[in-house]
Structure 1
Amino acid sequence: MAVAFVGGAALGAVFGELLRAVEDVVSKSASFNSILKQLQSTLNRVTPTIEDIEKLNRVLDRPQLETDMFTDRLREGQRLVLKCAKVRCWNYCAKYSYAKKLMALEKSLLNFFIIDVAAVNYRDTKDVLVAVNRVDSKLDRMGTMGGFVGCCGIPGVRDFVVGFYEPLRVLKMQILDGKEQVVVISAAGGCGKTTLAKMLCHDAEIKVKFGDNIFFVIASKTPSIMVIIEKLFQHKGYPVPAFQTDEDAMNQLVHMLKKFGPNPILLVLDDVWSGLESFIEFLKQQISDMKILVTSRFEFPRFNSTIKLKPLKDQDAKALFCHSAFPHHGSSSIPDDLVNKIVKGCGGFPLALDVVGRSLCGRRKEIWKHVLKQWSEGQSIFDSESNKELLTCLQTSLNTLVERYKECYLDLASFPEDQRIPATALMDMWVELYNLGENGEDTIAILDELSKRSLVEQVIVRKDASDASGYYNEHFVMQHDLLRELAIHQSSQEPIEQRTRFIMDIRGTDLPRWWIEQGQHPIHARLVSLSTDEMFSSNWHDMQLPKVEVLVLNIQTRDYTLPQFMEKMDQLKVLIITNYGFCSAEIKNFPLPRYLSSLKRIRLEHVSISSISNSILQMRNLRKLSLIMCEIAEAFRNCTVHIPDMLPNLVEIVIDYCNDLVEFPAWLCNIRFLKELSITNCHELVAIPEGFGKLQNLEVLRLHACTKLLELPKSIRSLHKLDFLDISDCISLTELPEQMGELFSLRNLHMRGCQGLSELPCSVKNLEQLKEVICDEETAYLWEQYKIDLINLEINVLKEDVNLDWLHDLQP
């Protein structure tokens, strides 16, 4: 749209004056009748556009800077027309001169709308698409936490895309003008189906037709109709009903969708495997003014309109590869024929071109030749012929990793496809499996390397968060589903009993036959991952897993029972339970009493715990407890026991996005050896008890974004080992305790966003070890008067860096 160029109230007024002048002279003078009527016709044709521009600019509050020259031209035109009315019919010289000027005026008007408006229309469309991509990406990345689960916004498109012009043109034609309601994009993994779908959703013509009624839903291998419908309700801001059955959910969805208008609806179901055909057919029959776009590795014969996405042609493939392999477009010592052979070996698959290009970026010519040799000797890792070349390329990229990085990469398959993997969960695993450092730096370094090789995509919600003394709770990675399959395949080359990783995706209540037949034969895996969907009944078959050190349970049901065979896991060190369903999951039998002796790390996400039994309080080896988006208030309230030397090795507690936590439990203050406590994004937390001072070994305290926290306890004076304190975005804090000056070891203080503070306690001048304060401009001036006493203090004023760039993507 050209609003930014032609907007402003003055433009409409001047345009109206010119039109009225033309109409008046036409009715009173015959001297220039034909020319003025032509001019009048031109003005009448553009009048609706001018009126629309006026309305839009009033809504958008657009400036008029770009329209001044055109407005001046309209005023000159008005004066010219009025002068024409005074020209006598016998004055042929004047008539000739003014006729030429009128024709020039009409031509300038046409040029403006044909050339200038079109050019700026293109510019503004690009600006809008950039802004939309940023906003979409931000919302998509926020979808991980804090009530944004289920957002169906359009993910952003990568910055460099080639070879999709023709497929996009064909797809647009079918969506805009085709008779079929359901359009399927079918291709092998890694061919760019999702990219094409994203490009369609961001297309200007598509946005004009469908407006806000575009929904982008990742279906995945085990789709849940209820979860998809719950996401659609939430995305539009509607209360999510308590659906009784899939049929009930579908009926209520149709009832909601029929309220939308005046635009039609575009629903994108991305990465559909099977199980949604009946849902799609139902929507097709119930809502006539709706288009459904499906991307899938499979073809669906029941839907007539299918676009088979083909690999990139040679020129486009080379352009994409070179963008990844030579990102700075500088001179390269790699011969062109060698580049061409590598490009050919990638088979035109966009994912392979990108992955292999990045893996060879900056590498010597000998490495490139070695890769070619490996390809010539390699074999397909899957049976599918269509994936042969792509998977051979991907496997070669994986083989270039050093052993530790490769092992860590294979561990990523423990988490479901199309889900963000928390860096902190990986830290918990890798500290115990590979003896990595507990501060997270080793883990982040590994993820950075995997990201550089395009084996994962890093997603950092707040880039500044990782600077906060090893805080990585808002750091995630995503793994392409094809790469996850590759990792699973690599981990499955040995017989089941001998595998170091045992990864199972269970659909419904169907356990594989070999599991049942396995009987009492032990599986010696160190890492076990069991993923179940919303239909799973928790009816586990017995298994022997005597060497398991890390157990990852990915669940979707609202009620979940831990498998009884966990009681035999005597070497279990890490337990990770993550609920990917819409509602919080109630863990019925947590914790089991007999498998706790070796546990060092427990991470629970999006689950509900109703009680904390004595058994967990006596876990002598537990070092870290993480509760993310959990319902824990009832369990904390019900715990009144006091056990001597309770949790003697627990050094870290993480409580993040637990919005039912109103007061920090007093009994937790008895954990004497606790060194690090993070209570972040707990927006209902109001109070911290005075007994908090008993945590005398505490070195790191994070209270970031506890927006209702009213004050810090006076007993904070007893935390003489506290080195790091983060109270950023605690907007309800109006003062800090006078005892702050007794934090003699405090070196780092983060307090950006503490808008309610109007002064600091005088005792802060005694913080002689304080080296850095990170705050905003409103708070920085409060510290200036104390810089005389705190000669080593550095005050850093930072702007908030929330990655809502992720407007990723999201992504993966």
Structure 2
Amino acid sequence: MVCGDSEDIQIVGIHGMGGVGKTTLAKIIYNQLSHCFEDCCFLSNVRETSQLKGIECLQNQLISDILKKKWSKISNVEEGMKIIKERLCGKKVLVLLDDVDQMNHWDALIGKPAWFGLGSRSIITSRNRDIVDVPEVCYPYELVSMNFNQSLQLFCKHAFGRDYPSDDYVAFSTEVVKTTGGLPLALEAIGKLLPRRRKEVWDVILKKLKQVPLNEVKGKLSISYNALDDRQKHIFLNIACFFTGFDLRIMLHSCKDSDLFPEEGLEVLQKMSLIKISKDNKLWMHDQLRGLGRDIVHRECNEEREKQTHPWNHEESSEMVMETKGTKKFEALCQKFDPQLLHYFATKEVERPSNLRYPEVRVFQENWPSDDLPANLQNNLLMRSKMRWLSWHHFPLEVKITSFSMMNIVILHLVDCPNLIDVQSIEGLASLRILKLIEIPLLERFPDLSNSKKLNELHLGHCHNLIEVQSIEGMGNLRTLKLIEIPQLKRLPDLSNLKNLTELQLRYCHNLTEIKGFEGSENLMILKLGELPLLERLPNLSNLKKLAQLDIRRCHNLVKIQGRLESLEDLCIQGCRSLDEVLDPASSFKKLRSLRIHDCEKLNLDRIWVSKFEASDIVYENSTLTLINNLWWRIGTRKSRSKPGSYHNVTDNGPQESKLTCELVFLGNPTKKFDLEDVLRASKQELRKGTFGMTCKADLEDGTTTVILKMLENVFLSAEDF
């Protein structure tokens, strides 16, 4: 794109959150390309200009800049599109459209690539991913925040006039970079604000910045927020005040039956670069955007705390509760109960939050002396029937779940509640979707949740007296099952009825001897087993047609892993010292991206077939790009390392055998290669520096040489395996 010497008509699209530097990057590209073009046009602030003056104004400017004469004849958009197409057709132009927020702006200004001559270039910036995620854009690019070193350099340029801070300001500069989250606009704004001010003022500004973005930054970020509809704004504020860092499923289930349409709203927020969803399914929002959202909540209630709906601050919400005002408006509450607040709840009559939907309650002090608190404490902690999510942590007192009005409860998290005495009463929760029971010592038999038809996720952990979970087999809608540290559990019920199960994790169940019933688990995508020392065998995994991740660690008595897996992307086997057979050699592993094998002393790696190439795979043969069908290769082992492996080229005349050698390639520099001995000598840090691939070189009987490249995101092979 930057070289500008191609005759193709190309469009690059840059999207990202406000203030991240899209315009700056676009200007750099524009300036680098401009010397290659006689006809250039930079249309800045397309969104704002179209709102104030109309898109016709921008059409006039585009024609004026390209034709190099004043043009103001366009009176309506359709006329402008016609003139642009007719007058600029055949001209090789360079056009930059900055801050486009609607597709009709695109259509009105540059229309289709054929409007301009060969070799033309267009650059478009937008906060909305949908604007640049279209077939016409050859190079869509998401611009994200800068890393720490880049951020520090930018801040120091504006604050100190150089690339690094003086010794006295290293700690302060580091704190500024962390607070701004690598947002260039914020770094520049605060950097320009600080020079020629006393250091005491700097500290005040930084303290304020941690709570609320600077006005200049706030104004830029507010543009994206103001473009949302009311439902999307509500979801944005929920995330800013409460759900940042939470699993996406919690947000979705909490709002499932509301009128917020969370799936659609979250998609819009992602496209507007207002949130991200991490690889582990957590909601992420930039600190500056989160500060904007919380500032909006404060401003919407005119700084009157009693009108606030999302009290995210523990100290502030505690004061509001103890002032007995404001709690009626609460929709969400993340409350840590310190001694003062618990004593208040125990001795005073507390106003109940009638609108409360998302309470998270944590007790500050462990080993609380329950004798110090009167019995009416629990009565004051009653929740209303609107409650959708209850997260109850570290509560030491004797408590009954039936004390809560939970007919509409969707998510129930009970963590470290040693005196929870009526766990079986959750059997009637028909709306329950997510259940997490962690460190509940009085739980011996898992409740019958056959009435909880909507239950999607079950997480049981550190329940040391739990001996059976038989009722699990009837949960047909269950998608995620995690059983962590259930030491008394000896066997699982038949899992074949869990046809919707996508993730199964079993770890630290030291007495578990058997897992059975994968026949109906064709939707299972993630299987993680760890620290199951008595487990000797698994059911055949061939029915797991969608299994993408298989992670088995420290199952010391496990002998075989049987099955043919075509969809596997990530295979990790560690510390399985009795294991001597892994999967069906006929498995193609054509989707494998990550392979980790460690401390499996009996495992013969000759039985692992690493890849099968199909017609769509790119293969290098004699340095010429070709397509080859059905190529197999495998990793040599300690037992067979001195002997070459076998390579089979499947042709119409049958397999053709040849000598095979294997190498590890650093894909960042394809000319740099390591043989397997190099890999064994390399440290883990060296291996993790880049993305690696495995190549196999084969000399065929007809005299030709074929080199096959298979890209693997991670390759961790320890010396014990060779």
**Which TM-score band applies after superposition, normalised by the shorter structure?**
0.3 to 0.5
**RCO greater where, 1 or 2, for CA within 8 Å and sep 6 or more?**
1
Structure possessing the higher radius of gyration over alpha carbons: 1
* Larger helix proportion of the pair: 1
Q: Please report the TM-score for the alignment, with normalisation by the length of structure 1.
A: 0.42
Q: Please report the TM-score for the alignment, with normalisation by the length of structure 2.
A: 0.46
